[in-house]
Structure 1
Amino acid sequence: MRPPKVVHLSTYDVAGGAARAAYRLHDGLRRAGVDSSMFVREARTSDGSVIRFEPTTTFCKRAERRIRREQIERKLRPAIPPDNDKVEPFRTDRSEYGTDILSKLPPYDILNLHWIADFVDYTSFFGAFSKNTRIVWTLHDMNAFTGGCHYDLGCGRYLGECGDCPQLAAAGPNDLSHEIWARKKSLFDQLSDGQIHFATPSTWLAQEVQRSPILGRFPVSVIPYGLDLTEFSPRDVGSAREVFGIPPKAKVILFVADGLPLFRKGFEVLVRALEHIRSWLPDLHLVTVGHNSPDLGHHIPHSYLGHINSDRLLSNIYSAADLLVIPSLQDNLPNTVLESMACGTPAVGFEVGGIPDMIHHCQTGLLVPPGEAGALGAAMLELLQNPERRLELGANCRQYALNHFSLEAQADRYCHLYTDILGERAIG
């Protein structure tokens, strides 16, 4: 039996954590001999197996896209609050592209969706598939089953019908979040249980899917992300610090996030935690990686290294650190923790979301209660003052990554899932 032809549908190929995870899966499948390609709205790689969506350019199609775009913006503009670090990105289920994506999709046996916001129009897209179409949807956050947020920050309204959204400026019982939630519910109610199989990287996100009134009846599998463990591996600490200008004798804490600062990523809590411990560690040094240089508000030595795409450079940064801190208030399976573990650098973080799937307390790092800056600071201090224990946890991290987070293991799990799904279709 020939391997299945798989098309990964994603808004981006490598821009952002979800896209990078999707591309890594695609790469792992190709290495395993699977006929895999990506179909994306925006491509930043030169990989020939990544196909960029080209919208139809006829006058009618361009006019149709403009009308749809203006309709979407009229709904979003009054609802979205001004720039606010404490508000999560909010995205509608609608897109200007309508059915145009369907006409451009490459042939496939399995269509594997990923992060599709601002690309796929739910009603046009899902409403067009026959009952024989088989879709795997790898979820990277909560957006598929909420009224627009990617993380609900604990509000729980998606368990009802959304509405009165704390992330919207124009909120009420029938606000935009309720409207989007109701559209998704109506749409997915029309699909059979076997048409979509959800895959989540973390146990936490699988449980949220199962609780969802929109998606709870569909099957879901937990398949962790995978990494190239030759790219992400321990490097020489001294050389790595020299390359990035990090003091050789410093106690180095690393914080990595695509969007800096982002309230959900917990940077404000980290700043308070550092205040608790800086008097105990005169040689403390913070390294941050991300799109924007964060404001610490005090005089802890700090190196901001910018946004970095290179896996090899990232592996050197992880290796240069004594520990990674992951103070997220809600998260799925952050790539940063996987990458740090693969490089033999233990992590300290809050016991939220999928983080406990990676940080096993006192084995691959330390977990503390969510949002508690004092506990976070104490855990960082404990490891920074105990180099022997830190080395032991680092060795455990590397071994755990080798056992659980390789590209090969992830590709094998997905191949089994694809085969099972196609077998069910043949029987049906």
Structure 2
Amino acid sequence: MKVFQLNYSDINGGAARAAYRIHHALRSSGIDSQMLVNRASAGDWSVQGPTCQWAKVMGRIRPQLAKPLRALLRTGNPIIHSPAIVPSTWPQRLNASDADVVHLHWVQGEMLSIADIGRIRKPIVWTLHDMWAFCGAEHYTDDLRWREGYRPGNRPAHESGFDLNRHTWQRKRRHWRRPMHIVCPSQWLADCVKASALMANWPVSVVPNPLDTGRWCPMEQRLAREMLGLPLEAPLLLFGAMGGGHDPRKGLDLLLAALEQLRAEPNLEDLQLVVFGQLAPREPPELGFPIHYTGHLHDDLSLRALYSAADLLVVPSRQDNLPNTGVEAHACGTPVVAFRTGGLPDIVDHQRTGYLAQPFEPHDLAAGIRWVLADPARRQALGHAARQRAVQLWNPAHVAGLYAEVYRKAIEQTRDRTVHDAYKHVPKCTQNRLNLN
């Protein structure tokens, strides 16, 4: 079986890393997977970037070409919008290839237009890394137009100007006549697909993102802290960059409210915070605890050491799919505290591998942090169970087997649909003769 994986880049961004891991999980299981990208950074021979100078130039500028259209939409929503209007030559290349399956990932606008996706004639499997495929132009949203259909009467009050989301959703409905097989890394996202006005009747499977649990494994905590220059004895709470505070979906305000409550805890006076993904700002915020900034850690070894050094990872998101940070932390034996929302319950087994707080209650998030840190023996047991969960659910061989089954179904469905479409064009008298025989 030959599969082409399409993603805008190979390793830059969360969706890219997930797609790259799926690609290599498949290759390790014997499936001939090739990854096609507009931006190749890994230096991996199994990843193919643009093959000519013109394609390289277009790959860089295509994300900028939709800016004038996005500017017509005025919204208080900071979520990224992708109208996906600029065509490419990818459909011709894919249709002429010997691939058995085309596997799409993060392609919206930066690689393929909406019309491009509709022109692909190969069996399509599409792994969703956000909500864009069944929404309008938005990648995540709190309103329910994706469920009701994008009508003039249900436009949210914070939007004005050109209705880019309705325009984009109508183009999807017009161009995507043939159902694709959708894969969601979390049950939450799969439930959204099934409830959507656009894809409710499409085949949907839940397949988690893989992680090489042989490489992503616990390090001795003291050694990890020495490597990163972190305090050796203090309890360490890890969370992502505070630079994401402009996006309410990330829940930084909820985390800050929880930390405010923990400042008064007599048993947490030694607690220290570790922020990854950014360097210390010019004027660091006063959170009541010492803060260590790691900057951007791009290599797996440094990230593995970071998770191993921490006593727990906090993911305060209001809305998330299956964040790599939570999966990676569990593989390294680190408990995760998060809200019971989105794809976080697919990662955290409440009070077995971490703590799931009630959405979106800062006091319960604080209670979860307190509960994990209060008992060192409990924290160790949580970490051990987290590691076991990672090995069971996210090891590459298991995930590759699930994808192989999805590919077989997609091929069979496309074959059956082709036969059905051909049969419809046969004269009625011939259809009756065939049925009799």
2:84 touches 2:110 (CA, 8 Å); kept in 1?
A: no
1:161 aligns with 2:146: no
Decide which structure has greater helix share: 2
Q: Aligned equivalents of 2:132 and 2:171: distance in 1?
A: 13
Q: Partner of 1:15 in structure 2?
A: 12
Task: Summarize the Cα distance change of 1:215–1:291 in structure 2 as closer, same or farther, 3 Å threshold.
Answer: farther
1:182 to 170, 192, 212: 170
1:30 aligns with 2:19: no
1:360 aligns with 2:360: no
Q: Deviation of residue 259 (structure 1)?
A: 6.2
1:79 aligns with 2:73: yes
Cα-to-partner distance string for 1:219-258 (whole Å, 9 max, x where unaligned):
0000011101011111010011111121111111111369
Cα-to-partner distance string for 1:197-240 (whole Å, 9 max, x where unaligned):
00000000000001111111110000011101011111010011
Q: Partner of 1:114 in structure 2?
A: 105
Question: Which moved further from structure 2: 112-121 or 154-163?
Answer: 154-163
Task: Summarize the Cα distance change of 1:16–1:257 in structure 2 as closer, same or farther, 3 Å threshold.
Answer: farther
Question: Which moved further from structure 2: 216-225 or 251-260?
Answer: 251-260
Cα-to-partner distance string for 1:25-50 (whole Å, 9 max, x where unaligned):
00111111211111111111100111
Cα-to-partner distance string for 1:10-31 (whole Å, 9 max, x where unaligned):
0111111111000000011111
Q: Aligned equivalents of 2:18 and 2:242: distance in 1?
A: 13
Q: Aligned equivalents of 2:242 and 2:173: distance in 1?
A: 31
2:270 to 283, 308, 317: 283
Counterpart residue type for residue 286 of structure 1: L
Q: Deviation of residue 70 (structure 1)?
A: 8.3
1:56 touches 1:100 (CA, 8 Å); kept in 2?
A: no
Q: Partner of 2:424 in structure 1?
A: none
**TM-score, with structure 1 as normaliser:** 0.88
Task: Summarize the Cα distance change of 1:7–1:328 in structure 2 as closer, same or farther, 3 Å threshold.
Answer: same
2:63 touches 2:109 (CA, 8 Å); kept in 1?
A: no
1:253 touches 1:321 (CA, 8 Å); kept in 2?
A: yes
1:267 aligns with 2:256: no
Aligned residue runs from structure 1 range 279-318, under 5 A: 279-280=264-265, 281-291=268-278, 296-318=285-307
Aligned residue runs from structure 1 range 67-146, under 5 A: 72-79=66-73, 87-95=78-86, 98-105=87-94, 107-130=98-121, 133-146=122-135
User: What is the DSSP-based 3-state SS (H/G/I as helix, E as strand, rest coil) of the residue aligned with 1:305?
Assistant: strand
Q: Partner of 1:211 in structure 2?
A: 195
What is the aligned-residue identity percentage?
A: 37
1:260 touches 1:291 (CA, 8 Å); kept in 2?
A: no
User: What is the DSSP-based 3-state SS (H/G/I as helix, E as strand, rest coil) of the residue aligned with 1:11?
Assistant: coil
Q: How many pairs are equivalent?
A: 407
User: What is the DSSP-based 3-state SS (H/G/I as helix, E as strand, rest coil) of the residue aligned with 1:260?
Assistant: helix
Q: Aligned equivalents of 1:203 and 1:19: distance in 2?
A: 20
Q: Deviation of residue 56 (structure 1)?
A: 7.0
Q: Aligned equivalents of 1:21 and 1:116: distance in 2?
A: 13
1:253 aligns with 2:204: no
User: What is the DSSP-based 3-state SS (H/G/I as helix, E as strand, rest coil) of the residue aligned with 1:185?
Assistant: helix
RMSD, aligned α-carbons: 2.6
Question: Which moved further from structure 2: 282-291 or 8-17?
Answer: 282-291
Q: Aligned equivalents of 1:361 and 1:247: distance in 2?
A: 29
Cα-to-partner distance string for 1:175-206 (whole Å, 9 max, x where unaligned):
11111111112222x22x3xx10000000000
Task: Summarize the Cα distance change of 1:53–1:394 in structure 2 as closer, same or farther, 3 Å threshold.
Answer: same
Q: Deviation of residue 159 (structure 1)?
A: 1.6
1:323 to 300, 308, 312: 312
Q: Deviation of residue 357 (structure 1)?
A: 1.1
Q: Aligned equivalents of 1:11 and 1:62: distance in 2?
A: 14
1:372 to 361, 364, 368: 361
1:260 touches 1:290 (CA, 8 Å); kept in 2?
A: no
Q: Partner of 2:139 in structure 1?
A: 150
2:82 touches 2:109 (CA, 8 Å); kept in 1?
A: yes
Segments of 5+ residues of structure 1 without an aligned counterpart are: none
Q: Partner of 2:325 in structure 1?
A: 336
User: What is the DSSP-based 3-state SS (H/G/I as helix, E as strand, rest coil) of the residue aligned with 2:34?
Assistant: strand
Task: Summarize the Cα distance change of 1:167–1:323 in structure 2 as closer, same or farther, 3 Å threshold.
Answer: farther
Cα-to-partner distance string for 1:265-301 (whole Å, 9 max, x where unaligned):
1122111111111232111111111256575443421
**TM-score, with structure 2 as normaliser:** 0.86
Q: Deviation of residue 137 (structure 1)?
A: 0.2
User: What is the DSSP-based 3-state SS (H/G/I as helix, E as strand, rest coil) of the residue aligned with 2:21?
Assistant: helix
Q: Aligned equivalents of 1:355 and 1:412: distance in 2?
A: 23
1:141 touches 1:332 (CA, 8 Å); kept in 2?
A: yes
Counterpart residue type for residue 308 of structure 2: S
Question: Which moved further from structure 2: 120-129 or 273-282?
Answer: 120-129
Counterpart residue type for residue 41 of structure 1: N
1:260 touches 1:292 (CA, 8 Å); kept in 2?
A: no
Cα-to-partner distance string for 1:91-146 (whole Å, 9 max, x where unaligned):
21223xx132224445411000001133244343133233xx20000001101111
Task: Summarize the Cα distance change of 1:349–1:156 in structure 2 as closer, same or farther, 3 Å threshold.
Answer: same
Segments of 5+ residues of structure 2 without an aligned counterpart are: 420-437
Q: Partner of 1:50 in structure 2?
A: 47
Q: Aligned equivalents of 2:47 and 2:165: distance in 1?
A: 33
